[in-house]
Structure 1
Amino acid sequence: MTMLKLFGIIIFCGLLWPSQGVLSGLSCAVSPAAVQNVLLNAIVRSGLLHQQVQSLVLPNIMSEGGLLNSPTIITGLHLVKIRVPDLSVTLSGIGVQINIAAKLELSGNCLVGLLSELINILVDVRIAANIKCTNFESGTVQVVVEDCLCVIGGMKIKVLSGLLSLSVNAAVLSHLKGTLPGLLCPVLDIVLNIVNIQLLSTLNVVIPVGTVGTIHYQLASLPFTAGSFLGLDLDGVVKQVGGGIIPHDSSPSALPPLLDKLMVLGVGESFLTAGVSLLLQVPARTFACTPAVCSACGGTSPLSLKLTLSGSPLILLEENKATVKLSVLIHVFIKRADGSILSILLLRADLSLNARLSLSGVRLVLGLSLGRISLFLESSDVGITDVSTLKPHCSSLLGEMFLPLANAALRPGIPLPKVLDIPLVKVEIRLQLGQVLIFVSGEDGASRSALSTPLS
């Protein structure tokens, strides 16, 4: 059976790459297969299209008949079922084209002469429309439907008696061609505006980051098409509890080809640094320097140690490598009986930590391990000037006492938005210069099975 196309939709959502300099926490490239499944879920599987069309009641149909035929009157004609056996998406330089094939099953009462019975009509419908995303403001866009064209195709009519003449068939088809376009185009407008609101809610969202703050994601510019993907750039505002915003400098990221992936997310280096800065709030820790506390401390000692995170961390992303740079102050002191402090050493340890990135649900999680350490003497009340021999001891101290605290602080992870409600399943994380790439493969066969799902 030849399938007709119900929707021919072209979304002109910005035809150029966003201007450089726009704040962007996350860049996304979404494949046609993923866009297809998103719209299938939003329009068909959700029952939205069926719900909006089912409320339609068509005007009565009257066929005068002829010399040998009684007049035929069809009343109460309404939608019973929508059959959607095919949906496809193609991307081009001018937007996104969506094609859905469908049949409408209509039912009503048929009066032929004095005989009344149920009539069932199955009709192919094709609607073509241009949809533009306009009026971008504060992370929102407006959907405008233009040039809606509705075409009625083949039709089958069924009554129990089978008494309908060819002239009645022709009258019914003519009636549907005259009435359905004026009913279905406004429905299309309603459906797409509801879908726009639903999908924008996945792009404009405030997500808590543990108990330390939030990240507010929203569209940074109009969606756009480039090559074979739909592009979305999101602004990510990283805010501490209490309202302070952690700034980050970034611009839209250049993303690699999708190939067979459903979606790729690009998380910029500067934005990632802001997220880690929000999470990595390690309070200063003071403890006695004993072997029970740290292997670097030997024997009984009056010494106390205080570890303090100094400044903000910095993340460097390179090919297949992520490094977190931060500084920790190591204060070695003695607390006298009178309560005064004798500062033996105040050291600054500049750490270059190896970072392993993983995805837990919809959160990007970093795990740190010791890399390189540089040690600098800040001050000493007892005249110490050479600290070169202390490097191994400080390395052990930081590995045993500071790193567990840092990893515990990072454990909640940096939350990511669920872009267009696309599940982050079967993901692969790659590191390249300046950004983290998250490739999403999705469930095998999800898009293929979606194409043949009927809605009843």
Structure 2
Amino acid sequence: MKLLKLFGIVFFCGLLSPSRGVLSGLSCAVSPGAMQKVLSDAVIQNGLLQKHLQGLVLPNIMGEGGLLNSPTSITGLHLVQVRLPKLSVVLLPGIGVQLAISARLDLSGNCLVGLLSELIDISVDVTVTANIKCTNFELGAVQVVIDDCFCILGAVKIKLLSGLLSLSVNDIVLNQLTATLPGLLCPVIDIIVNLVNIQFLGTLNAVIPVGTVGTIHYQLASLPFTSGLSLGLDLDGAVQQVGGSIIPHDSSASALPPLHDRLLVLGLRQSFLNAILSLLIQVKPQTFICSPEAFSGAKQLQEAILTLFPSGCSSCSVTAPLSIRIELFGKPLILLENNKATVELSAMILVFVKRLDGSILNLLLLKADLSLNVHMSISGSSLVLALSLGSTSLSLESSDVGISDISSLKPHCSQLLVEMLLPLINGCLGTGIPLPNVLGIPLVKVDIQILLGLLVILV
């Protein structure tokens, strides 16, 4: 029986080994308990099960053996209420997923026993179980295969207003329900899970804006896979500039840490984060007068530069205030090591004066290679990075006035960059990196681990 496109790509596909032909930007593992909770919320707590079973009408039940062995007919039998619904999920390693929905169905109809007509109420416990697997992942499409869907009936209670009921009527009702309920309930479950499929696929295939600078398109990168401990998903994150092209990122396979008692483990690979940093960190060149109003160490920096002028320099008479231009150079690079994350980036610092005749005298062109410490946190559904200065390496690119020794400038330039550049970079990062809303699992009580080449978020 065809019961599914059941959470199609997501839940019940996993039943083959993960495809390693696609190296994705993200990987995650979802615990069986988390799967059970999100499915139970979607199917039961949100009322889908009650809503789609509400119109259930059963075939008439005809039989012999009523009161005084008179013919018995039960007509108009319909569902009144679904009580005590419960959903459970079991991962079947290498085979598939077993989904079971159990509930007590309260039915009501008209009963004709001989010439006596009255209302009849039937309460039946039922469990619908489906064994599901999927194969043939190609271009985001998955073929879902249902091995079986069957119903098991538990206790059946029958109540007539007169209270007159023979054991044979009880047997007739039980036999008829056993024969008809699977054919009625499995199609209803099929409808429900297809609706949930649409809902949850949206959490794995979504285009999310990154502030105003671009988007990340999250989508499944390969066939989901199951073990006895988790559902595994590989996701691709296509990072694209607004009105521009996709920023490529190369990824290598990396193992996630075990779930233990966690609901979700999400791993972001270093190359994926680098693509996002290239999108986020877009700082325009900054040009300003070297004055205390601009930054606190202006006077000390200017004095230090003037002392470096070589003696006898005919062009070194500087009367106008110094001007500074800071511009990022190259792309930022995040490095993930065990328990440590740093961002490396470079900036060019040009110190110049504008003479009275309008000409420009370039005193110094410096290259600053920065190593920035990274603090990571989760805000809402985003990963937020905050940078602080770790170390600075300063090198001289050129000088029109013959300056050659810049060793005394390092502390002043470091202060300059901390005050004038770092706030701009952190402002770019303040938007945060939007994370995929995997199966709707909220990112609360989160821990962050930094491994070699992998950032791990544990929920």
Of residues 290-299 and 394-403 in structure 1, the stretch that sits farther from structure 2 once superposed is 290-299
The structure 1 residue matched to 2:330, chosen from 308, 311, 327, is 311
Shift in alpha-carbon separation, 1:409–1:205, aligned structure 2, 3 A: same
State whether structure 2 residue 93 is matched by structure 1 residue 97.
no
Tell me the amino acid that sits aligned with residue 157 of structure 1: I
- 1:39-438 matched pairs, under 5 angstroms: 39-65=39-65, 68-84=68-84, 86-94=86-94, 95-298=96-299, 302-438=321-457
Say if 1:144 and 1:55 are closer, same or farther in 2 by CA, change over 3 A.
farther
Report how far residue 343 of structure 1 moved: 1.0
Contact 1:110–1:119 (CA<8 Å) still a contact in 2? yes
Conserved in 2, the CA contact under 8 Å of 1:429 and 1:439?
Answer: yes
1:200 offset after TM fit, Å?
A: 0.8
Partner Cα separation in structure 2 for residue 44 and residue 28 of structure 1: 25
Q: Does the 8 A contact of 2:99 with 2:130 survive in 1? A: no
- Two-structure CA RMSD over aligned residues (Å): 2.0
Q: CA deviation at 1:124?
A: 2.0
Aligned 8 A contact 1:140 1:219 in 2: no
> Equivalent residue of 2:356, what SS?
coil
Cross-structure match for 1:36: 36
Equivalent position SS for 2:298: coil
Distance (Å, rounded) in 1 between the aligned partners of 2:98 and 2:337: 37
Letter in 1 for 2:25: G
270-279 vs 56-65, which moves further: 56-65
Q: Match of 1:448? A: none
Aligned sequence identity (%): 66
Q: Identify the residue that residue 449 of structure 1 maps to in structure 2.
A: none
For 2:405 and 2:15, locate their aligned partners in 1 and report how far apart those are by CA, in whole Å.
61
Query: How far is 1:187 from its partner?
Result: 2.1
Equivalent residues of 2:348, 2:365 under 8 A apart: yes
Secondary structure in structure 2 of the residue aligned to 1:393: helix
Task: Measure, in 1, the Cα distance between the counterparts of 2:139 and 2:84.
Answer: 36
Partner of 2:443: helix, strand, or coil?
Answer: coil
* Structure 1: distance between partners of 2:38 and 2:67: 55
Q: Contact 2:66/2:169 (CA < 8 Å) preserved in 1?
A: no
TM-fit CA distance, 1:220:
0.5
Q: Is the 8 A contact 1:145 1:189 kept in 2?
A: no
Aligned residues of 1:290 and 1:301 also touching (Cα < 8 A): no
Judge conservation of contact 2:211–2:431 (CA < 8 Å) in 1: yes
| Partner deviation per Cα, 1:334-383 (whole Å, 9 max, x = no partner) | 12334332111111100000010110011000000001111111111112
Separation of aligned partners in 2, 1:160 and 1:130: 40
Secondary structure in 1 matching 2:401: coil
Q: Distance in 1 between matches of 2:73 and 2:228?
A: 53
- Deviations 1:114-150 (Å, cap 9, x if unpaired)? 4333211111223332222334344343433332222
Decide whether the 8 Å contact of 1:92 with 1:228 is kept in 2.
no
Instruction: Assess, with a 3 A threshold, how the Cα gap between structure 1 residues 281 and 310 changes in structure 2: closer, same or farther.
Output: same
Report the residue type matching 2:178 in the other structure. Answer: K
Counterpart amino acid of residue 245 in structure 1: I
Gaps in structure 2 of 5+ consecutive residues: 1-5, 303-318
Q: Across the two proteins, how many residue pairs are aligned to each other?
A: 431
Give secondary structure in 1 for the equivalent of 2:89.
strand
CA–CA separation in structure 2 for the residues paired with 1:270 and 1:12: 27
Structure-2 separation of matches of 1:311 and 1:414 = 21
Partner of 2:305 in structure 1? none
Tell whether the 8 Å contact from 2:86 to 2:103 is kept in structure 1 after alignment: yes
Q: Distance in 1 between matches of 2:111 and 2:29?
A: 52
Q: 1:194 to 1:145 in 2, by over 3 A?
A: farther
CA contact (8 A) 2:102 2:128 kept: no
| Aligned counterparts of 1:30 and 1:117: Cα–Cα separation in 2 | 52
Q: Distance in 2 between matches of 1:356 and 1:301?
A: 41
90 and 150 in structure 1: CA distance in 2 versus 1, 3 angstrom threshold: closer
Distance 2:254 2:141 in 1: 21
Report what 1:4 is aligned to.
none
Q: Is the 8 A contact 2:278 2:331 kept in 1?
A: yes
Instruction: Point out the more displaced range, 46-55 or 309-318.
Output: 46-55
Change in Cα spacing, 1:304 to 1:80, as seen in structure 2 (3 Å) is same
Compare CA radii of gyration and give the structure with the larger one. 2
Partner SS state of residue 405, structure 1: helix
State the secondary structure of the residue aligned to 2:293: coil
Note the C-alpha offset of 1:113. 3.5
- 8 Å CA contact 1:140, 1:200 repeated in 2: no
1:249 aligned counterpart, secondary structure: coil
Query: Which residues of structure 1 form unaligned runs of 5+?
Result: 1-6, 441-456
Rounded to whole Å, the distance in 2 between the matches of 1:54 and 1:142 is 30
| Counterpart Cα distance in 2 of 1:37 and 1:142 | 25
If the length of structure 1 is used for normalisation, what is the TM-score? 0.90
Distance in 2 between residues matched to 1:189 and 1:50, nearest whole Å: 14
Shift in alpha-carbon separation, 1:133–1:192, aligned structure 2, 3 A: farther
8 A contact 2:142–2:223 mirrored in 1: yes
* 1: CA distance, partners of 2:50 / 2:254: 39
Comparing 22-31 and 308-317, the one that deviates more: 22-31
Residues 204 and 217 in structure 1, CA contact (< 8 A), matched pair in contact too: yes
Give the superposition deviation at 1:66: 6.3
Distance (Å, rounded) in 1 between the aligned partners of 2:253 and 2:341: 20
Partner of 1:187, secondary structure, is helix
CA deviations on 1:419-441 (whole Å, 9 max, x unpaired) are 0001111101111111111110x
Distance of 1:428 and 1:26 partners within structure 2: 17
